[in-house]
Structure 1
Amino acid sequence: MSGPNTDYDPVEVTPLKAEEVDAARDAALAAIAGAQDLEQLKQVRLEHAGDRSALALANREIGALPPQARKEAGQRIGQARGAVNKALAERQTVLEAEHEARILVEEAVDVTLPTDRRPAGARHPLTTGAELIADIFVGMGWEVAEGPVIEAEWLNFDALNLGPDHPARTMQDTFWTDPPEDHLVLRTHTSPVQARTMLTTTPPIYVVCPGRVFRTDEYDATHSPMFHQVEGLAIDEGITMGHLKGTLDHFAGAMFGEGITTRFRPSYFPFTEPSAEVDLTCFVCRGSGLKAGSSESCRTCRGEGWIEWGGCGIVNPRVLRACGVDSDRYTGFAFGMGIDRTLMFRHGLEDLRALFEGDVRFTTAFGSEL
């Protein structure tokens, strides 16, 4: 029996030739050196060190060689692949450092610069307006009082001298809750807050009461079933109409500018006696009734020089007695006007609905500052 043929030499495999291996290695090293960023280096790794690269395919051909030829071919391929992997690692380190350095420059943030992010919203003008009004009266030594929007019928009507047959108590004017026997309403004014204050506080009393109120009005440019009022109440010894006039003149000047005053026109309200409508000097024509520099009538006051603002009067003694205040010792005054209407005057708004539509562009324009 003959022994194994150790001299057998198959056809030489082309990828394993020394010059082919050196060429594949040199091409890989050149491509690695030429990679300008990490993305390019990733493509080079796939082409020259991946499973389908020339060196990887050559490595698979080693198995076709006779045993005595495999060692030399294996060393040659291994050295070439090692050189390529070493070059890849070194280039990877260099490119990562360059990438990080570039990010530090390109994405640097100057935290001292003002932000250019647009705000998500702004404070509503009714909120800031109510706070401004409250601040004016707090500066005069008054207090701010609040109450519930669902109010007892007695506090909303009876305590304020609005009798059982008063038209304001009908369903055409007032929102009543169910069941009717609960005698609860959505308050039609903030005067119940004044009644609550008189029932729980010993005079002297100086409070301002801003808040939401509800009436069954149509929703249009000048009316809304929900709107905002501010009412004031002063109870003390010796209170007169003169104190009321001085208070409202100060309030008007603080809201609309120096020189703006008020005038009273006789009127009637069940909870005050005597009562008056409050008119405001037109803050556009300053009471002249004329457009500036023209003989035309002022559009804001329609040539009258005055703008209707609210109502006021001396607190009716019946209201004082109903709320437990000694009407023989104390007198007081009360006033009320719409916050919505005041803001429309202040900002030149022509449509009340703009205050309730929730457009952030309107809120940003009028809500952030007053």
Structure 2
Amino acid sequence: MKILITGGAGFIGSALIRHLIAETEHAVVNIDSLTYAANLGALEDASQSPRYIFERADVRDRHALANALAVHQPDGIIHLAAESHVDRSIACPDEFITTNIVGTFELLEAARAYYERLEYPRRNVFRFLNVSTDEVYGSLRDQGLFTENSAYAPNSPYAASKASADHLVRAWHRTYGLPVVISHSSNNYGPWQFPEKLIPRTAINALHGKPITLYGRGNNVRDWLYVEDHARALVRVFEHGKTGERYNIGAHEEWTNLNLVRRVCGMLDELAPAPGIGARERLIEFVPDRKGHDHRYAINATKTQNELAWRPNETLESGLRRTLRWMLDNPAWIDAHVAHDEQNAPASNLRRPQGE
């Protein structure tokens, strides 16, 4: 099959493409506008394959999307293109509305027109996978898990924009018959993640002896999923998920932000001891809490595990070790981000609160 992937130069998208090229026979058309968080370096090996094609285009540009569909004739779409950082959505929600909501609408319309022109048997094969987040479900108390039947209750502009996209996708299925599937994952981490997120930002600051800032008292709980495990799950959902269904993807790895940051610090003390810095846990500082900060996310992935025969390969401990070793083995990647931060905001970027 040939799969058109939007946002394929992003963190999750690039992991998915690397997996598809290395472990499957699928061909890939990567559509990405190359915003600040995109990184074609993460696709250097995949780009050598004759089964990989890159098209620079914005998901909000229906003409460009329609042209890509007409030229490349994919057998399905996996939609990952999105603005994804909660802090940025609170500070400046405009891009989240236009990319995550309007962009999804434009893609759905391009996909619908393309799908309606397909002839059998290709029409029977085509599907549209919308990659969403557990944040659309809102916040949990200390007990309970999100299931596919959990009510939507988004609390941040980011979560609301993703929930809106999900509702559009569902409506295009019910109204127009577009064959869709929706997935919801817990917090991802792993190599190549843009360092505005909790784990890479913590690691970079810890390696440089910079303050590691946490919202509130660091008691917010997140469920962590290694990005390569997520990529494998997405392939299973795309290939075998039931049309019109939703699938939760998570690894049952709940950690408070504070305990996670402490583990990152401790692991770096072991892997890259720095006598001049000392125990990196001492770098942790607390700052006023984020607006509308959700208390806890936790995914019940039983449906995905049982129906699609998927299980995560990595625990947080093993995945975190793989991630930090990758960072230590790629100092140029770290240095580039530190230089970018220092050039654009010398005093604030490295001290900003850690967004998960």
Structure with larger Rg: 1
Higher relative contact order (CA 8 A, sep 6+): 2
TM-score class, shorter: under 0.3
